Amino acid sequence: MIYFDHNATTPLDERVLEAMLPYLKSCHGNPSSLHRPGRIARDAVETARAQVAALAGAAPSQVLFTSGGSEANNLAIKGLAWSLKPGRIRIGATEHPSVAEPTRFLARYGWDCRTLAVDAQGLIEDATLDAIAENPPDIVSVMLANNETGVIQDVRRIATLATGTWLHCDAVQAAGKIPLSFAGTGAHLMSLSGHKIGGPKGAGALIADASVPLTPLIHGGEQEKGLRGGTENVAAIVGFGKAAELAATELEERSQRLRRLRNRLEQGIEELPRTTVFARTAERLPNTLQFAVAGYDGETLVMLLDRHGIAVSSGSACASGAREPSPVLLAMGVDPALATGAVRISLGKDNTETEVEQLLAALGRILETGTQC
Ligand SMILES: Cc1ncc(COP(=O)(O)O)c(C=O)c1O
């Protein structure tokens, strides 16, 4: 199987597995225990904290470990909201469901929740930004890079305009693909996920500035400064740390290679009949490409490519299964019929030029024979 769905999840890097194994076998201590096995586990968690901080351009003391990106987003949105009086919260119109759903949930508790409109390229509109600057909301959440289109938002600009607003940034897809700087974005909170960067599932982080008032979602333990009760998933955290270290060290080389492969793919796809590449002129992640073929349903193309041994996704993985147009593309004003045809290709560090050519050849054959489900 040729795997082109790295924005859904990445394979576990062999070097990450090696780093994790001792914590799945002999080093079984609880990081809260005072004895030696406990101290060994604590040291491992703290090493990982420093590694994740380095990838995010943050201080280790700002890293709170969670079970993944969804929990980090929930902790950011709901944890902040529980600490404030109900007010106004604004999120980008193309946010991941793990930001959009907790925001919608807050409406039940008196919060005024709205989305920030995006333009045809998926970027938050200037008029919307002006409105934010004029009357800053209590909370704003904007993703750094979109999981479907790969579009990169100018979060720094939003931070500069929205003075007095608590700003959260979902950097789950950006991490390991473009340079990250928590301080540089001006955000107060930033979410990351281990399994998107070659780490295991079950570990993520919320980077939080010390000034942010946060209420935990999980009570019952003093772990993570009392903000996330529960014994730490030591092996997964160690794996996340190692993956973060590798992503930071290899970032430049990986992103250059990925960009080359993605550009070749894009060129090949655009040469095929009736294809549209979304957010074509926006600054995008180097590994991501979303397109549609007029007259084809996205799920159909995913299944046809699967028969050729190629794994891609229709829209975001979380939305797969539902034959509805991608909400991200609808927010960008894409025609619903075309949005239903969206296919996302997300490359990873181990993909090769040969695999890219195989994908283009398979897609060409499918469209040539006019195979439809
Ligand atoms: C932009 C974005 N945010 C958050 C998440 C959720 O991360 P996790 O799978 O670690 O819960 C995802 C996962 O696809 C994502 O793409």
147 close to ligand 1 (CB < 6 Angstrom):
yes
Q: Which residues of 235-268 are buried (b: 16+ CB within 10 A; e: fewer)?
A: bbbbbbbbbbbbbbeebeebbebbbebbeebbeb
pLDDT value of position 372: 55
* Token pair in block for residue 288: 């991501």
Domain 2-8+251-369 is in which class? alpha beta
Nearest CA to ligand 1 atom 13: 8
Percent of the chain's residues with pLDDT above 90: 95
DSSP-derived letter for residue 125 is: P
- CB-CB neighbours of 323 under 10 Å: 12
pLDDT value of position 322: 54
What mean pLDDT do residues 79-93 have? 98
CA 202 – ligand 1 centroid, Å: 12
Each residue of 350-361: pLDDT tens digit? 999 999 999 999
199 close to ligand 1 (CB < 6 Angstrom):
no
Q: Which atom of ligand 1 is nearest to the CA of 70?
A: 11
Mean pLDDT of the chain: 95
pLDDT value of position 370: 76
What mean pLDDT do residues 336-365 have? 97
Q: Which atom of ligand 1 is nearest to the CA of 204?
A: 10
Distance CA 5, CA 347 (A): 7
Each residue of 14-72: pLDDT tens digit? 999 999 999 999 999 999 999 999 999 999 999 999 999 999 999 999 999 999 999 99
Residue 267 has pLDDT above 90, yes or no: yes
67 close to ligand 1 (CB < 6 Angstrom):
no
Distance CA 99, CA 192 (A): 13
What mean pLDDT do residues 228-246 have? 98
* Banded model confidence at residue 369, pLDDT cuts 50, 70, 90: confident
Q: Which atom of ligand 1 is nearest to the CA of 201?
A: 10
CA 172 – ligand 1 centroid, Å: 6
pLDDT value of position 169: 98
6, 65, 70, best to mutate for ligand 1 pocket (most atoms within 8 Å of CB): 70
pLDDT value of position 316: 47
67, 94, 196, 318, best to mutate for ligand 1 pocket (most atoms within 8 Å of CB): 196
170 close to ligand 1 (CB < 6 Angstrom):
yes
69 close to ligand 1 (CB < 6 Angstrom):
yes
- CB-CB neighbours of 155 under 10 Å: 26
Return the domain boundaries, the chain: 2-8+251-369, 14-247
pLDDT value of position 319: 46
Point out which residues pair with 4 in neighbouring strands: none
What mean pLDDT do residues 248-263 have? 98
pLDDT value of position 324: 81
Nearest CA to ligand 1 atom 8: 69
What mean pLDDT do residues 271-278 have? 96
* Banded model confidence at residue 317, pLDDT cuts 50, 70, 90: very low
* Banded model confidence at residue 74, pLDDT cuts 50, 70, 90: very high
Residues known to be catalytic: 318
68 close to ligand 1 (CB < 6 Angstrom):
yes
By C-alpha distance, which of 337, 346, 326, 345 is closest to 297? 337
204 close to ligand 1 (CB < 6 Angstrom):
yes
Which residues, other chains included, contact 182 with Cβ-Cβ below 8 Å and sequence gap of 6+? 56, 57, 58, 62, 190, 207
Note the CATH number of domain 14-247: 3.40.640.10
* Banded model confidence at residue 321, pLDDT cuts 50, 70, 90: low
Distance CA 254, CA 176 (A): 9
DSSP-derived letter for residue 196 is: G
What mean pLDDT do residues 252-264 have? 98
Residue 320 has pLDDT above 80, yes or no: no
pLDDT value of position 318: 46
Residue 200 has pLDDT above 50, yes or no: yes
pLDDT value of position 128: 92
Each residue of 141-155: pLDDT tens digit? 999 999 999 999 999
Residue 77 has pLDDT above 50, yes or no: yes
